[in-house]
A = this chain, B = another copy of it.
Amino acid sequence: MSVTAPDGFVAAGLHCGVKDTGAPDLALVATADRKPVPAAAVFTSNLATAAPVQVSRRHLEASGGQAVAVVLNSGNANAATGDAGRSDAERMCELVAQHLGCAPEHVLVCSTGLIGIPLPMPAIESGIPGLVAALSPDGGVDAAEAIRTTDTVRKEVVVRDTAVTVGGMAKGAAMLAPDMATMLAVLTTDGGAEPGDLRTDLQRSVRETFNTLSVDGCTSTNDTVIVLASGRAGSASDLTHSLTQACDSLARQMAADAEGATKTVRVLVTGARSDDEARQAARKVAESQLVKCSLYGVDPYWGRIVSELGSAGVAFDPDLVQVTYGDVVVCAKGVAADHDADAVLAHLQARDVDIVCDLGLGQGTGSILTNDLTHAYIDENMRTS
Contacts and interface: CB of A to CB of B under 8 A. Distances in A.
Contacts of A301: 114-116, 384
A221 B334 CA distance: 13
A290 B381 contact: yes
Contacts of A80: 303, 306, 318, 331, 334-336
Interface in A280-318: 287-290, 293-294, 296-299, 301-304, 306-311, 316-318
A374 B382 CA distance: 9
A316 B47 contact: yes
A77 interface: yes
A304 B383 contact: no
A288 to B, nearest CB: 6
A218 B298 CA distance: 20
B310 A221 contact: yes
A171 to B, nearest CB: 17
Number of copies: 2
Interface string A110-141: 00001111100000000000000000000000
B218 A82 contact: no
A46 interface: yes
A28 B114 CA distance: 53
A260 B214 CA distance: 24
A337 to B, nearest CB: 10
A289 B381 CA distance: 9
Chain A's interface size range is 35 or more
A382 B289 CA distance: 10
A335 B118 CA distance: 9
A236 interface: no
Contact of A218 (B85, B307, B336): B307
A333 interface: yes
A293 B331 contact: no
A46 B116 contact: no
Interface in A335-385: 335-336, 373-375, 377-378, 381-385
A321 interface: yes
A253 interface: no
A175 B334 contact: no
B221 A307 contact: yes
Given A175-B307, A217-B287, 13 more contacts: A45-B311, A48-B307, A48-B310, A80-B335, A85-B335, A116-B336, A218-B290, A218-B308, A219-B311, A294-B381, A296-B382, A299-B383, A373-B378
20 contacts: A48-B310, A48-B316, A80-B318, A80-B331, A80-B335, A115-B303, A115-B307, A116-B335, A118-B336, A174-B290, A175-B307, A216-B289, A218-B290, A218-B304, A289-B381, A290-B381, A293-B378, A293-B381, A299-B383, A299-B385
